Structure 1
C-alpha cells in the first residue's frame, strides 16, 4: 500500500477517534477544533499529494494530542491509557482490514478500495467504542482514574516506552510484510493493555473495599459516641427534670422552655441502646449492623439483633463477609417493606460455636419465591428486575472456602444463613 493511501486512511481513523477524545472530555472544545483542523488539513494534503512526509506528520499530531490532554486534565495516567487504547485500536483494525487480507489475497489498492476501507475501519472504531463504553459502565475505571490526585508521571512514561517500542516493531514488520512478527507483536500489545487495565481494576477494587471498611468503622465510632453520650445524658436526666420542675414552680416558663428545648436537641439522633454488639470485635462489621438497624427504625421495621459469643473476623475474609451480609440484609429489608399482612420484623442471630460463626437472617415474605431460580443472575422480585445479589454471594462462596451460604424458605419465612469457618486466636 502506498504512503498516500496509508495517509488517507490513518487521517480518517484519527478524525473519528478525535470525536471520541472530545466525547470523553479529554480536551477542551478549542483544543478539539484545533486538532480536527490539523487532521482535516492532513487528509486534504494526503488526497492530492504523494509526499511521504504527510504520513510522518501524523506522529506530530499524536504527540500534540497527548500533551494537550495532559495540559487539560493535569494528569499523565489518563492521557497515557487513552493513547495506548487509541493506538492499539488503530493497529488492530489495520491488522484485520489490511494485513490479514493482504496475507491471504493479492489485493491491488485502488481509490474504491481506500473508500471501502475508510468506511469499514470507521464502523469498527464505532463498534469498539461501544464495547469500551459498556465495559466502563460496568467497571467504572474511567471515573476512578479521574478522581486520582497523583499524576503518575514516571509510571506513564514507562508504559509509553514499552508500548511505543513494541509498536515500532509492529509497524516495521507490517511494512516489510513480516506477518508472523507483525501478528505476534500485536498480540503482545493486546496482552500489555489487558494486563494494565486488569491491574487498575484490582487496584480500584482494593481501594473501594478499604474505603468501605473505613466508612463502616467511622459510622460505628460515631454511633458509639452517641451511645456514650446517651448514657452520660441519662445519668443527668433526673437532675434536668428537677430543674425544669423548679422553673415551673417559680412560674419561670421561659427558662423551662429553654431547658426542655435543650433536652430535646440533646437527644436527637441518639442510637437506641437496645443494640449490644460489643461481642463483635470488627468495627466495620458493627457499623454495618448499626447502619441497617437505624434504617429499620426509619422505615418502621423491628430490627432485632441477637449475638451469642465473642468473635473477630480476620482481614482476609472480612470484606467477603460484609459483602454477603450486606446483600442478605438489603434483600430482607426490601422484602419486609413490601409486607401487607405480616408484622415488619427482621431477626438477625449471630452465633459462635468453636471455629464457626453463623450469621442467620430471617424475615417474612409474601411474594412467591422459586428457590431453584433465585440464584440465577438477573432473577429478582423487584419491580426493576435487577437481581444480582444472591448470584454474587454464590460467586463469593465458590472463591472462598471459609464461607458457606444456605437458604431455607418456609411458607412465610425466608431464612438466609452465612456460615464462616476460620481459626480464632
Structure 2
C-alpha cells in the first residue's frame, strides 16, 4: 500500500493544484495563494518526521487559512465553504479510479504486492493528470456560466449552513480515509458517494436560488420602471389639461408687457413639466445587464431621490466583459457611490453624475459629485487609510478602493476637481474572450 508520507505529499500537490487552477484570481490574491502553497509545502515536508496520524491536522491549517482568505475577500461564508467542498469532491473523484481503488485491491489481496508496486507510479501520475483535467474543466465552467457572479446575489447570512457543510465535509473525508487505510471498501465508497452527492445537491439548489434572485432583481427593476413611467403619464395628462390655459395667460402677460408675471408663468411651466421630461433612470439601469449591479444602482437612485440629490446616469457599456472579479467591482463601485453621496449631502448644490462607457479594451466608470472644497486638503489625502473629512467616520472606503484597484493589472483610477465637482475616473480592462 502507498506509504502515508507519499500520500500526504501527493495530497499536498493536489491542493496546490486547487489553489493555482481554481482559486487564484477568482477567490485568492497572489500573496494569499503563495501563503497557502507554503503551508502545503511545509505539510508535505513535516509529514516525513511527524507521526502519520497527525497529517490531517496539518490539512486543517490549510482549510482554515483558505476559508479565512476567501471569506475576507467575498464577505460570504457559504461560498468559502462550498469552495472547500468542491475542491475535496474533485480530489476524491480523481483518487477513486486510480490510487485509492488500487490500495483497496491490494488490501483485499486481489493484486499482488509486486503488481501493486510495479503499476503504482503510473496510477499516481494518472491521478494527478485526472485531477488537473477536472480542475481545468471546473475553472472553464465557473467562467463560462459566471457562477461567482450568480453566487454574489445570494443572501450573506449563511453561517449556520456553512458550518454544517464543513462538518459534513470533514466527517465524510475522515470516513473515506479510514476506508482507504483499513481496506473498508464499503465505508470508502459510501463516504465518497456522500461527498459527491453532497456537491450535486447543493449545486442544484444554489442554481435554483441564484435563478430566483436574478428574476427577483429583474422584477424589482421592471416595477420601478413601470412606476416612474406611470407617474410621468399621469403628470403629462394633467399638464395637457392646463397647458393651453398656461400659454393663454403667458400670451396675455406678454401683450400687456408684464414681463415679471410672464417670467413667473414660464418658470411654473418649466417646473411643472420637469418631472416627466426627466429621463427614466431605471430604464438606463436595465442596460447594465448585471443583476447585482442593477440592484446597487436601483437602491442608489432611491437614496438620492430621498435626499433630493440631482442624479444623472449615462450607460453605454455592459459590465459583463469586465476582467475584474464581480465582488471586487461591486465593492469599488459602491465605495465610489457612497463617497459621492456623503460629499454631496453637505454641499450647497446637490448633484451627482455617473457615466458607464467603454472602448474595445477598457470599461470606464466616471463619478462626479459636488463637494465642499478645503484648500488645505490635497486630493490624494482622500485615499489615505483612516482619513476622512466627516466626523465619526472611519475613512477607509477610498483607501480600500485604491488597494483593490492596485491588485489588478492595467486597472487604474485618477482623481481631479473641476467647477466645484470632485471627479473619479475608474478604468478596468476587458476580458479578451468575454463570456456570452
Alignment partners' CA distance in 1, 2:249 and 2:193: 81
Q: Is the 8 A contact 1:12 1:118 kept in 2?
A: no
**Which runs of 5 or more structure 2 residues have no equivalent in the other structure?**
281-435
Change (3 A) 1:8 1:112: farther
**CA shift digits 1:39-98 (9 cap, x unpaired):** 12333445x658526733223322332233334433211111011111111111111211
Q: 2:214 aligns to what?
A: 208
The alignment status of 1:228 with 2:237, answered yes or no, reads no
| 2:79 equivalent to 1:78 | yes
- Is residue 179 of structure 2 the alignment partner of residue 170 of structure 1? no
CA contact (8 A) 2:90 2:131 kept: yes
State the match for 1:97 in structure 2: 98
So what's the TM-score if we normalise by structure 2? 0.54
Deviations, residues 219-256 of structure 1 (Å, cap 9, x unaligned): 22211111110111011101221133234424549938
Compute the TM-score of the two structures, normalised by the length of structure 1: 0.55
- In structure 1, distance between residues paired with 2:101 and 2:74: 38
Deviates further, 77-86 or 92-101: 92-101
More divergent stretch after superposition (9-18 vs 132-141) = 132-141
Q: How does 1:413-424 map to 2 (within 5 A)?
A: none
Structure 1 residue aligned with 2:55: 55
Aligned-partner Cα distance in 1 for 2:138–2:23: 15
Q: Secondary structure at the match of 1:150?
A: coil
Please say if 1:65 is aligned against 2:74.
no
Q: State the shift of 1:265 in Å.
A: 4.3
The alignment status of 1:195 with 2:201, answered yes or no, reads yes
2-structure distance, mates of 1:25, 1:192? 23
Q: 1:42 to 1:110 in 2, by over 3 A?
A: farther
Residue equivalent to 1:144: 150
Structure 1 pair 118/101, CA: closer, same or farther in 2 (3 Å)?
A: closer
Aligned to 2:131: 125
Contact 2:70–2:80 under 8 Å retained in 1: yes
Query: Shift in Å at residue 176 of structure 1?
Result: 1.3
- The aligned residue for residue 277 of structure 2 is 268
Task: Give the alignment partner of residue 189 of structure 2, picking from 169, 183, 186.
Answer: 183
Q: Tell me the distance in 2 between the aligned counterparts of 1:270 and 1:21.
A: 43
* Residue 107 to residue 216, structure 1, CA distance change in 2 (3 Å): farther
Whole-angstrom distance in 2 between the partners of 1:210 and 1:13 = 39
- Alpha-carbon separation, structure 2, partners of 1:17 and 1:267: 55
How many angstroms does 1:184 deviate by? 2.6
Q: CA separation in 2, counterparts of 1:111 and 1:78?
A: 42
Could you tell me how far apart the structure 1 residues matched to 2:255 and 2:124 are? 93
* 2:277 match: secondary structure: coil
Aligned length: 270
- Cα-to-partner distance string for 1:369-409 (whole Å, 9 max, x where unaligned): xxxxxxxxxxxxxxxxxxx9xxxxxxxxxxxxxxxxxxxxx
Gaps of 5+ in 1: 272-387, 389-425
Cα gap change, 1:211/1:13 in structure 2, threshold over 3 Å: closer, same or farther?
same
Matched with 1:335 is: none
Instruction: Report the Cα distance in structure 2 between the residues aligned to 1:184 and 1:138, rounded to whole angstroms.
Output: 32
Alignment partners' CA distance in 2, 1:69 and 1:161:
18
What's the RMSD between the two structures over aligned residues?
3.3
Q: Deviations over 1:202-235 (max 9, x none)?
A: 1222222233233222222211111110111011
**Distance change >3 Å, CA 40–CA 106, structure 1 → 2:** same
Query: Distance in 1 between the 2:74 and 2:221 partners?
Result: 29
Which one has more relative contact order, counting CA pairs under 8 Å at least 6 apart? Answer: 2
* Alignment CA distance shift 1:134-1:32 (3 Å): closer
Q: Deviations over 1:163-216 (max 9, x none)?
A: 222222221111112223312321222111111111111122222223323322
Report the Cα distance in structure 2 between the residues aligned to 1:52 and 1:234, rounded to whole angstroms.
Answer: 85
